Structure formats: structure tokens, C-alpha cells
């Protein structure tokens, strides 16, 4: 079943505001990924985190790998209209053998108001 709990489920913010969202798990992950999905498109990778405590930026986006390895955070600074979309956290799970697949959080729907 779903292993990642993502919050908030949705956010309505004014253009220019900062945004924070997070993802928690009952299990330890050794990699955290953050994806963005634009309307009508598939998810696109924004940031990948590989080490507990790691802080990584991609433009106005900053993500952190929690030190317990059970959580991760994504911040967006100075939001703009094109930030609208669904943001997903994801992490690898081991399927049969050594094959790794991705499990996803339920997503945060971000709306940016002008």
C-alpha cells in the first residue's frame, strides 16, 4: 500500500509567496525524489536527494532529506504562475529480487493566485 504521507493535499497561495510541503514515511528511504506534474502531462523530476541531512536546490526550489531518513521537505520561494501543478514525493522500494520501483506520495496540488 501507500507508504508515503504527503501534506498538505492542496495549497492556494498568492504569487510571490513561499511554499512548503513535506512527505513522511514509516519506513526508512535511502533516496528521496520530488516530481512536478503539469496539467495534462506526466511527472517530471525536480530534485533527487541521496543522503540524510542533504539540502539541494534547483533554482527557486530547495529540498531536504530528513536526518531520520523518514521524511523530506520541498520549499518553493517567490512563487510564480508556472509553479501551478501537482508536486509528488517519491522513493524507491524493492520489488522482487533487486528490482527497484518508485512509490509515490498522494501529491500536493498547488494553485498560485495572481
68/74 Cα distance (integer angstroms): 16
Residue 28, by phi and psi: left (phi above 0), alpha (psi -120 to 50) or beta?
beta
Contact map string, positions 34 to 73, toward other proteins, x by CB under 8 A: ------xxxxxx--x-------------------------
Which one, of 4, 35, 24, lies nearest residue 106 by Cα? Answer: 4
Output 56 or 75, the one with its CB closest to other proteins. Answer: 56
Q: Which is nearer to other proteins, 1 or 114 (CB)?
A: 1
**Of 7, 8, 9, 78, which lies in the binding site for other proteins, with binding defined by CB under 8 A?**
9
Q: Which residues contact 111 (CB under 8 A, 6 or more apart)?
A: 10, 11, 12, 13, 84
Name the site residues for other proteins (rule: CB under 8 A): 1-2, 4, 6, 9, 31, 33, 40-45, 48, 88, 92, 95-96, 98-107
Amino acid at each position: 500500500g501507500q507508504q508515503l504521507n504527503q501534506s498538505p493535499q492542496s495549497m492556494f497561495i498568492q504569487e510571490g509567496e513561499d511554499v512548503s510541503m513535506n512527505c513522511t514515511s514509516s519506513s526508512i528511504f535511502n533516496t528521496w525524489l520530488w516530481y512536478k506534474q503539469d496539467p495534462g502531462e506526466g511527472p517530471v523530476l525536480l530534485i533527487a536527494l541521496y543522503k540524510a541531512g542533504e539540502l539541494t536546490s534547483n533554482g527557486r526550489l530547495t529540498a531536504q532529506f530528513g536526518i531520520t531518513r523518514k521524511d523530506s521537505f520541498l520549499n518553493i520561494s517567490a512563487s510564480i504562475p508556472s509553479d501551478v501543478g501537482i508536486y509528488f514525493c517519491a522513493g524507491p522500494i524493492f520489488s522482487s529480487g533487486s528490482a527497484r520501483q518508485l512509490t509515490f506520495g498522494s501529491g500536493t496540488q498547488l494553485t498560485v493566485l495572481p
